[in-house]
Amino acid sequence: VVAWSVAVVFIGSAFVVFFREPNRAFTEPPAFLGPLLGIVLSTVMISLVREVDRRNRRAVLTDVLTGLGNRAALDIYVRELLVDSSKQNAPIAMVAFDLDHFKALNDRFGHAAGDGALRSTAEALREGLPAGGGLFRYGGEEFVVLLPATDQAEAERVADAMRLRVAQLTLEDWPLTVSGGLVVDRIGPGLDVTDMFQRADAAMYDAKEQGRNRVLVGIPSVMPLRGGRSFAIAGSEHAR
Protein backbone atom coordinates (compact mmCIF):
# COMPACT_ATOMS: atom_id res chain seq x y z
CA VAL A 1 0.00 0.00 0.00
CA VAL A 2 2.81 2.40 0.92
CA ALA A 3 4.69 1.60 -2.29
CA TRP A 4 1.67 2.30 -4.46
CA SER A 5 0.88 5.51 -2.56
CA VAL A 6 4.39 6.82 -3.15
CA ALA A 7 4.19 5.80 -6.80
CA VAL A 8 0.92 7.72 -7.20
CA VAL A 9 2.52 10.80 -5.67
CA PHE A 10 5.48 10.53 -8.06
CA ILE A 11 3.33 10.07 -11.14
CA GLY A 12 1.03 12.89 -10.08
CA SER A 13 3.97 15.23 -9.58
CA ALA A 14 5.40 14.29 -12.97
CA PHE A 15 2.08 15.00 -14.68
CA VAL A 16 1.81 18.40 -13.01
CA VAL A 17 5.26 19.34 -14.24
CA PHE A 18 4.53 18.02 -17.74
CA PHE A 19 1.29 19.92 -18.20
CA ARG A 20 2.60 23.14 -16.74
CA GLU A 21 5.81 23.23 -18.75
CA PRO A 22 5.75 20.47 -21.38
CA ASN A 23 8.79 21.85 -23.25
CA ARG A 24 10.99 21.67 -20.17
CA ALA A 25 9.55 18.50 -18.63
CA PHE A 26 12.20 16.28 -20.21
CA THR A 27 15.08 18.64 -20.82
CA GLU A 28 15.06 20.27 -17.39
CA PRO A 29 13.15 18.03 -14.96
CA PRO A 30 12.64 19.50 -11.48
CA ALA A 31 15.32 18.58 -8.97
CA PHE A 32 12.85 16.87 -6.64
CA LEU A 33 11.85 14.24 -9.20
CA GLY A 34 15.18 12.37 -8.99
CA PRO A 35 15.10 11.77 -5.23
CA LEU A 36 11.38 11.06 -5.38
CA LEU A 37 11.97 8.44 -8.06
CA GLY A 38 14.63 6.87 -5.84
CA ILE A 39 12.18 6.73 -2.94
CA VAL A 40 9.54 5.13 -5.16
CA LEU A 41 11.91 2.46 -6.45
CA SER A 42 13.29 1.72 -2.98
CA THR A 43 9.81 1.44 -1.50
CA VAL A 44 8.64 -0.84 -4.29
CA MET A 45 11.70 -3.07 -3.90
CA ILE A 46 11.20 -3.33 -0.13
CA SER A 47 7.56 -4.22 -0.69
CA LEU A 48 8.49 -6.90 -3.22
CA VAL A 49 11.14 -8.40 -0.94
CA ARG A 50 8.66 -8.56 1.93
CA GLU A 51 6.07 -10.23 -0.29
CA VAL A 52 8.59 -12.83 -1.48
CA ASP A 53 9.62 -13.46 2.14
CA ARG A 54 5.99 -13.84 3.16
CA ARG A 55 5.33 -16.34 0.37
CA ASN A 56 8.49 -18.30 1.16
CA ARG A 57 7.55 -18.44 4.82
CA ARG A 58 4.07 -19.69 3.92
CA ALA A 59 5.55 -22.36 1.66
CA VAL A 60 7.91 -23.56 4.40
CA LEU A 61 5.04 -23.85 6.87
CA THR A 62 2.46 -25.42 4.54
CA ASP A 63 1.90 -29.05 3.64
CA VAL A 64 1.92 -29.11 -0.16
CA LEU A 65 -0.63 -31.90 -0.56
CA THR A 66 -3.39 -30.69 1.76
CA GLY A 67 -2.67 -26.99 2.18
CA LEU A 68 -2.71 -27.40 5.96
CA GLY A 69 0.02 -26.25 8.28
CA ASN A 70 2.86 -28.73 8.71
CA ARG A 71 4.80 -29.73 11.83
CA ALA A 72 6.89 -26.57 11.69
CA ALA A 73 3.68 -24.52 11.63
CA LEU A 74 2.41 -26.51 14.62
CA ASP A 75 5.56 -25.63 16.57
CA ILE A 76 5.13 -21.92 15.82
CA TYR A 77 1.44 -22.05 16.72
CA VAL A 78 2.29 -23.53 20.12
CA ARG A 79 5.09 -21.03 20.78
CA GLU A 80 2.71 -18.16 20.07
CA LEU A 81 0.20 -19.62 22.53
CA LEU A 82 2.85 -19.87 25.22
CA VAL A 83 3.75 -16.17 24.97
CA ASP A 84 0.13 -14.97 24.85
CA SER A 85 -0.54 -13.82 28.40
CA SER A 86 -4.30 -13.77 27.82
CA LYS A 87 -4.29 -17.55 27.35
CA GLN A 88 -2.10 -18.53 30.30
CA ASN A 89 -3.59 -21.31 32.44
CA ALA A 90 -6.47 -21.73 29.99
CA PRO A 91 -7.32 -25.27 28.92
CA ILE A 92 -6.03 -26.55 25.60
CA ALA A 93 -7.21 -29.67 23.84
CA MET A 94 -5.30 -31.73 21.29
CA VAL A 95 -6.85 -34.28 18.96
CA ALA A 96 -4.77 -36.69 16.91
CA PHE A 97 -6.74 -38.01 13.92
CA ASP A 98 -5.61 -40.82 11.64
CA LEU A 99 -7.28 -41.87 8.39
CA ASP A 100 -8.48 -45.45 8.83
CA HIS A 101 -7.26 -48.29 6.58
CA PHE A 102 -5.11 -45.89 4.57
CA LYS A 103 -2.61 -48.52 3.42
CA ALA A 104 -5.39 -50.80 2.21
CA LEU A 105 -6.97 -47.84 0.40
CA ASN A 106 -3.67 -47.08 -1.34
CA ASP A 107 -3.20 -50.73 -2.29
CA ARG A 108 -6.64 -50.94 -3.84
CA PHE A 109 -7.00 -47.56 -5.58
CA GLY A 110 -3.42 -46.36 -5.99
CA HIS A 111 -1.43 -43.53 -4.48
CA ALA A 112 -3.16 -40.81 -6.50
CA ALA A 113 -6.48 -41.83 -5.00
CA GLY A 114 -4.82 -41.96 -1.59
CA ASP A 115 -3.65 -38.37 -2.05
CA GLY A 116 -7.20 -37.40 -2.98
CA ALA A 117 -8.51 -39.09 0.16
CA LEU A 118 -6.03 -37.12 2.28
CA ARG A 119 -7.08 -33.85 0.64
CA SER A 120 -10.77 -34.62 1.15
CA THR A 121 -10.18 -35.59 4.76
CA ALA A 122 -8.19 -32.42 5.40
CA GLU A 123 -10.96 -30.29 3.92
CA ALA A 124 -13.66 -32.01 5.98
CA LEU A 125 -11.64 -31.49 9.16
CA ARG A 126 -10.98 -27.87 8.22
CA GLU A 127 -14.70 -27.24 7.78
CA GLY A 128 -15.33 -28.46 11.32
CA LEU A 129 -12.51 -26.48 12.93
CA PRO A 130 -13.71 -23.75 15.33
CA ALA A 131 -12.39 -20.21 15.05
CA GLY A 132 -9.05 -19.90 16.82
CA GLY A 133 -8.25 -23.59 16.47
CA GLY A 134 -5.27 -25.00 14.60
CA LEU A 135 -5.26 -27.90 12.15
CA PHE A 136 -2.05 -29.48 10.92
CA ARG A 137 -0.93 -32.46 8.88
CA TYR A 138 1.47 -34.17 11.24
CA GLY A 139 2.74 -36.69 8.71
CA GLY A 140 1.46 -39.51 6.54
CA GLU A 141 -2.26 -39.92 7.16
CA GLU A 142 -2.20 -38.29 10.60
CA PHE A 143 -3.62 -34.88 11.48
CA VAL A 144 -3.38 -32.84 14.68
CA VAL A 145 -6.00 -30.41 15.96
CA LEU A 146 -5.27 -27.86 18.69
CA LEU A 147 -8.17 -26.16 20.46
CA PRO A 148 -7.07 -23.35 22.82
CA ALA A 149 -9.40 -22.26 25.61
CA THR A 150 -11.43 -25.43 25.16
CA ASP A 151 -12.37 -27.70 28.06
CA GLN A 152 -12.83 -31.43 27.72
CA ALA A 153 -16.61 -31.40 27.25
CA GLU A 154 -16.41 -28.91 24.38
CA ALA A 155 -13.37 -30.64 22.91
CA GLU A 156 -15.25 -33.94 22.85
CA ARG A 157 -18.14 -32.28 21.01
CA VAL A 158 -15.85 -30.62 18.46
CA ALA A 159 -13.74 -33.75 17.88
CA ASP A 160 -16.75 -35.94 17.28
CA ALA A 161 -18.34 -33.39 14.95
CA MET A 162 -15.11 -33.36 12.92
CA ARG A 163 -15.07 -37.16 12.87
CA LEU A 164 -18.65 -37.22 11.58
CA ARG A 165 -17.78 -34.80 8.76
CA VAL A 166 -15.13 -37.20 7.51
CA ALA A 167 -17.50 -40.17 7.88
CA GLN A 168 -19.75 -38.59 5.23
CA LEU A 169 -17.02 -39.02 2.61
CA THR A 170 -16.51 -41.97 0.28
CA LEU A 171 -13.94 -42.97 -2.32
CA GLU A 172 -16.03 -44.90 -4.83
CA ASP A 173 -17.47 -47.66 -2.61
CA TRP A 174 -14.91 -47.11 0.15
CA PRO A 175 -16.11 -45.07 3.15
CA LEU A 176 -13.55 -42.71 4.61
CA THR A 177 -13.32 -42.59 8.40
CA VAL A 178 -10.88 -41.34 11.00
CA SER A 179 -9.96 -42.54 14.46
CA GLY A 180 -8.99 -39.94 17.04
CA GLY A 181 -7.37 -39.53 20.42
CA LEU A 182 -8.09 -36.49 22.58
CA VAL A 183 -6.23 -35.03 25.57
CA VAL A 184 -6.64 -31.78 27.50
CA ASP A 185 -3.94 -29.83 29.32
CA ARG A 186 -3.27 -26.27 30.50
CA ILE A 187 -1.44 -23.53 28.62
CA GLY A 188 1.61 -22.39 30.55
CA PRO A 189 5.36 -22.82 31.01
CA GLY A 190 4.92 -26.48 31.94
CA LEU A 191 2.99 -27.39 28.79
CA ASP A 192 4.71 -30.33 27.09
CA VAL A 193 3.26 -30.61 23.61
CA THR A 194 5.34 -33.70 22.82
CA ASP A 195 3.83 -35.46 25.82
CA MET A 196 0.35 -34.30 24.79
CA PHE A 197 0.85 -35.73 21.34
CA GLN A 198 2.12 -39.06 22.69
CA ARG A 199 -0.96 -39.41 24.88
CA ALA A 200 -3.34 -38.34 22.10
CA ASP A 201 -1.58 -40.68 19.67
CA ALA A 202 -1.85 -43.59 22.11
CA ALA A 203 -5.57 -42.94 22.58
CA MET A 204 -5.97 -42.80 18.81
CA TYR A 205 -4.40 -46.24 18.42
CA ASP A 206 -6.69 -47.52 21.17
CA ALA A 207 -9.60 -46.16 19.10
CA LYS A 208 -8.41 -48.19 16.12
CA GLU A 209 -8.14 -51.32 18.23
CA GLN A 210 -11.69 -50.79 19.48
CA GLY A 211 -13.20 -50.64 16.01
CA ARG A 212 -12.08 -47.36 14.36
CA ASN A 213 -14.28 -44.41 13.39
CA ARG A 214 -14.40 -43.10 16.95
CA VAL A 215 -12.64 -40.70 19.30
CA LEU A 216 -11.20 -41.77 22.65
CA VAL A 217 -10.10 -39.55 25.50
CA GLY A 218 -6.54 -40.25 26.61
CA ILE A 219 -4.86 -40.32 30.00
CA PRO A 220 -4.75 -36.91 31.70
CA SER A 221 -1.06 -36.71 32.59
CA VAL A 222 2.33 -38.30 32.02
CA MET A 223 1.71 -42.00 32.68
CA PRO A 224 2.34 -45.29 30.84
CA LEU A 225 0.90 -44.73 27.39
CA ARG A 226 -1.24 -47.85 27.20
CA GLY A 227 -3.37 -49.63 29.70
CA GLY A 228 -7.05 -48.93 29.62
CA ARG A 229 -7.23 -45.31 30.77
CA SER A 230 -9.08 -44.22 27.62
CA PHE A 231 -12.80 -44.32 27.13
CA ALA A 232 -15.07 -43.90 24.14
CA ILE A 233 -17.02 -40.70 23.63
CA ALA A 234 -18.55 -41.58 20.28
CA GLY A 235 -18.23 -43.87 17.32
CA SER A 236 -19.82 -46.13 14.82
CA GLU A 237 -20.20 -49.80 15.51
CA HIS A 238 -19.76 -50.45 11.79
CA ALA A 239 -16.28 -49.09 11.11
CA ARG A 240 -14.39 -50.81 8.33
Catalytic residues: 141
User: What is the CB-side half-sphere exposure of residue 171 using CA atoms within 13 A?
Assistant: 25
DSSP-derived 3-state class of residue 116: helix
User: Strand 214-217 vs strand 231-235: parallel, antiparallel, or unpaired?
Assistant: antiparallel
Please check whether residue 143 is in contact with residue 162, taking contact to mean a CB–CB distance below 8 angstroms.
no
CB-based contacts of 128-131 (< 8 A; 24+ apart in sequence): 128/158, 128/161, 128/162, 128/165, 129/162, 130/158
> Rounded distance, CA 48 to CA 54, Å?
10
Helix (H) or strand (E) holding 233: strand 231-235
DSSP-derived 3-state class of residue 211: coil
> Rounded distance, CA 225 to CA 236, Å?
24
Q: How far is CA 216 from CA 8, 114, 125, in A?
A: 59, 25, 17
Total Cβ atoms within 10 A of residue 46: 12
